[in-house]
Amino acid sequence: MADEGGLEKKVAANAPKGGGSVFDAIGGSIDSLIDSIKAVPGAIKDAAHYTYYSVKAAAGVTLGYLAAGIGALITAGGFVAGKYLSNSMSKTKTTYKDVANELMFGGLLGGFLGYLFKVSAMFGNAAKAAYGAATGYAAKAGSALVSIPLFMTNEEYTRRLLDRGYKAKSLKEQWESIKKVILYLGAPIAANFAFLSGIRNYVAAAIITTAYSAIKSVSKKEEKKEATPQYQLPPGYALPQAA
């Protein structure tokens, strides 16, 4: 009898308060289990999302590092800083996807930039040996201006290939972007190629990339203002005058 009394007390203690039955408690537990099971696909989706973009970022940075060493990592950092600045200016939240994509593109394009620096130095040194230091600097500066459309075209088609959400630019839009970069940043880019070398090239390029992102953000705001239609009254119609 003592054991039976203890069992009754345990059942009563585990029974839901407020007059509910044991079956109500079991039903609540099943509902909780079902909710937990429903949440699993969402958790798997989130894990897959972060894994996918982490792999993209790691692949881009690794390939860039193999091509240009630490310079590619600096370039990737410049791309991330530029994206963050651009989003801040447009009051847009910077997501993990944004950061991962910019790391990937910055790494890959940092590797390409490394080849541009090497070719520029080769031409500059050859010109210097043949015609003097001034000609060598001029050759490097000239190669920098030639590198701008090469770099930006490479970036455009790399983004098209690897970013499903990227809005492709027409040839006209690409040319307009190239002209703006040459106009606003041509001088510092030329100076970077002509007078700097090694890691300093990449540091300067990262700063220029960040500045370019700011310019793009300002340009987008101006384009939106120009695209906003201004309401005009019909001909011959005048607003009523206050009494």
Residues 6+ apart with CB under 8 A from 60: 76, 103, 104, 105, 106, 107, 108
Return the DSSP state at 17: S
Residues 6+ apart with CB under 8 A from 125: 136
Low-confidence residues of the chain: pLDDT under 50: 1-2, 7, 10-11, 23, 243
- Quote the radius of gyration of the chain (alpha carbons, Å): 30
Residues 6+ apart with CB under 8 A from 221: 89, 90
Query: Model's pTM, two decimal places?
Result: 0.74
According to the model, what pLDDT value does residue 187 have? 95
Q: How far does Cα 73 stand from its chain's mean position?
A: 15
| Residue-by-residue DSSP string for 82-129 | HHHHHHHHTT-PPPHHHHHHHHHHHHHHHHHHHHHHHHHHHHHHHHHH
Exposure string for 1-40, b = 16+ CB within 10 A, e = fewer: eeeeeeeeeeeeeeeeeeeeeeeeeeeeeeeeeeeeeeee
According to the model, what pLDDT value does residue 11 have? 47
Residues 6+ apart with CB under 8 A from 34: none
Backbone phi, psi, residue 173, to 5°: -65, -40
Pinpoint the alpha helices (H) of 132-170: 133-162
Query: Tokens 């607003």 correspond to what residue?
Result: 239
According to the model, what pLDDT value does residue 55 have? 92
Where are the chain's structural domains?
Answer: 37-219
According to the model, what pLDDT value does residue 185 have? 93
> What count of other Cβ atoms lies within 10 Å of the Cβ of residue 221?
12
Structure tokens that stand for 149 in this block: 């459309």
According to the model, what pLDDT value does residue 89 have? 86
According to the model, what pLDDT value does residue 212 have? 81
According to the model, what pLDDT value does residue 7 have? 47
According to the model, what pLDDT value does residue 173 have? 93
